[in-house]
Amino acid sequence: MSAVSLSDASAVPASVYRQPGFLPFLISRVLAMFAVQILAVVVAWQVYDMTRDPLSLAYVGLAQFIPMFLLLMPAGDLIDRYDRKRILMLSWALEALCAAALLWLSLSGGAVTGFYIVLVFYGCARAFTGPALSSLLPQIVPREKLAAAIAANSMIVRGSTIAGPVFGGGLYALGGGGLTYAACLLFFVAGIVLLRWVPVLYAEKMQALEATAWQRFTAGIRFIRSRPIILGTISLDLFAVLLGGVVALLPIYAQEVLEVGPTGLGALRSAMALGEVTVGFYLSTRPFNRHVGMVMFIAVAIFGLANLVFALSSLFWLSFAALLVAGGADMVSMYIRSSLIQFSTPDAMRGRVNAVNMLFIGSSNELGEFRAGTSAAWFGAVPAALLGCFCTLAVTGGWMLGFKSLRQVDRFEDAAPGSRG
């Protein structure tokens, strides 16, 4: 399939909103993301408030990571074989049930073990949600509008993460976990209802896939291994965030270092999202298509340096600013990574490729929370954050040396099937 340059897509950013079904898809995704962000802030704060043990934050991440790790590849296989919209609706329905269970636990004073059990099922649902969303978007908009759709999707969805954590922190301060989980349940249900009205107009005809699940799984792995540009891109994100992310430590920083409470925690969570949506808006109006490989490496390095400033800061405004910069750098990296993957992957293999990508992302996020929580329990929050930042910078340098073809990518078309890399 031929690639569409981002410079060409910049000519049609407004028309993509008039594409049938695209706006309802965006709104439904924003609602679901809003619920996810509220839940992430509240469950971390509530569990830590119940235990006052940094290791409990590690268990929050681990409870979600294990089922995602086990189910992502089967999920990718199913997404390539069945209706992607229906799979997405079912996964959101399970997330809504998890929100309802957390609501019941909060109102009944359930033990912390109950929260971990619910998060296991929540991780199962998220194993299907991510690959289904990424694979469904190219079936909703035509190829020539895909780049504009990616930019608009990234900007608007990230925008929901600005209000989500602040709203979640404020709701928890007002009404505790019950009120916040009720809001999550409402948003998930509303997202499902809206998604029903999204037409799938550009799905390619289902192809006869390999006979066995193992053959289908290995076909996706072989494709990724044959594309060093894609492999280097997703693995860079994995290790940079896995080793250097500070999001899991925000409850500790908000409570013990900055002393700003749950409302301040929501603001800190929103800082990265604010940086992401600001840069995302700029990219949606002024997309670039030159030196994309080197720009991605620079963005990841800036992400590490900004987190380093946050780790050392004891001032709320400086911590907020550092997370703002980290979010902006992360948006640049994510924008390049998403475009490379979408433009270079055949539709029949998108579920499996996006499942591998989500496995890497899930590993970097959930397993990264476990890494951060255990490090904070062993060394303290500040030393754990500092160690992670140095690891991010080391990974960036190592990947620049190890993936020369990725560093030398100039235009997104260079990653298209049939090109070098």
Please report the pLDDT score of residue 8 as a whole number. Answer: 39
Alpha carbons 78 and 23: distance in angstroms, whole number: 26
Q: What percent of the chain has pLDDT over 70?
A: 88
Residue 119 — pLDDT band, cuts 50, 70, 90? very high
- 8-state DSSP, 254: I
Number of Cβ atoms within 10 Å of the Cβ of 398: 12
Q: What type of residue is 8?
A: D
What six digits make up the tokens of 411? 């235009």
Rounded average pLDDT over 163-173: 79
What is the pTM (predicted TM-score) of this model? 0.69
Cα torsion angle, 111, 113, 117, 123, sign: positive
Residue closest to 194 by CA, chosen among 270, 323, 265, 89: 89
Rounded average pLDDT over 60-89: 85
Task: Report yes or no: 158 and 277 within 8 Å, Cβ to Cβ.
Answer: yes
Alpha carbons 37 and 183: distance in angstroms, whole number: 11
Helix (H, G, I), strand (E, B) or coil at 13: coil
Q: Which phi and psi (to 5°) does residue 222 adopt?
A: -65, -40
Task: Report yes or no: 79 and 351 within 8 Å, Cβ to Cβ.
Answer: yes
Alpha carbons 98 and 93: distance in angstroms, whole number: 9
Range with top average pLDDT, 218-222, 277-281, 400-404, 409-413:
400-404
Residue closest to 36 by CA, chosen among 91, 95, 84: 95
Alpha carbons 386 and 400: distance in angstroms, whole number: 22
For residue range 367-407, list pLDDT tens digits in order: 677 777 787 788 787 888 888 888 889 988 999 888 888 88
Is the pLDDT assigned to residue 320 strictly greater than 90? yes
Classify burial at 5, counting beta carbons within 10 Å of its beta carbon; exposed 0-12, middle 13-18, buried 19 or more: middle
Alpha carbons 153 and 137: distance in angstroms, whole number: 9
For residue range 262-312, list pLDDT tens digits in order: 778 878 877 887 888 888 777 766 777 788 889 999 999 999 899 899 988
Sequence-ordered list of residues with C-beta below 8 angstroms from that of 111, at least 6 positions apart, any chain = none
Pick 224 or 92 by higher pLDDT.
92
Task: Report yes or no: 229 and 66 within 8 Å, Cβ to Cβ.
Answer: no
Q: What percent of the chain has pLDDT over 90?
A: 18
For residue range 25-58, list pLDDT tens digits in order: 989 998 998 899 888 888 888 888 888 887 887 7
Is the pLDDT assigned to residue 165 strictly greater than 60? yes
Rounded average pLDDT over 145-170: 75
Distance of CA 183 to the CA centre of its chain: 21
Please report the pLDDT score of residue 168 as a whole number. Answer: 80
Alpha carbons 103 and 147: distance in angstroms, whole number: 39
- 8-state DSSP, 14: T
Integer-rounded Cα Rg, in Å, for the chain is 20
SS3 content of the chain, % helix, strand, coil (to 5): 85, 0, 15
Residue 5 — pLDDT band, cuts 50, 70, 90? very low
- In whole angstroms, how far apart are CA 260 and each of 6, 38, 319? 41, 18, 12
Number of Cβ atoms within 10 Å of the Cβ of 174: 10
Please report the pLDDT score of residue 357 as a whole number. Answer: 77
For residue range 357-367, list pLDDT tens digits in order: 777 766 666 66
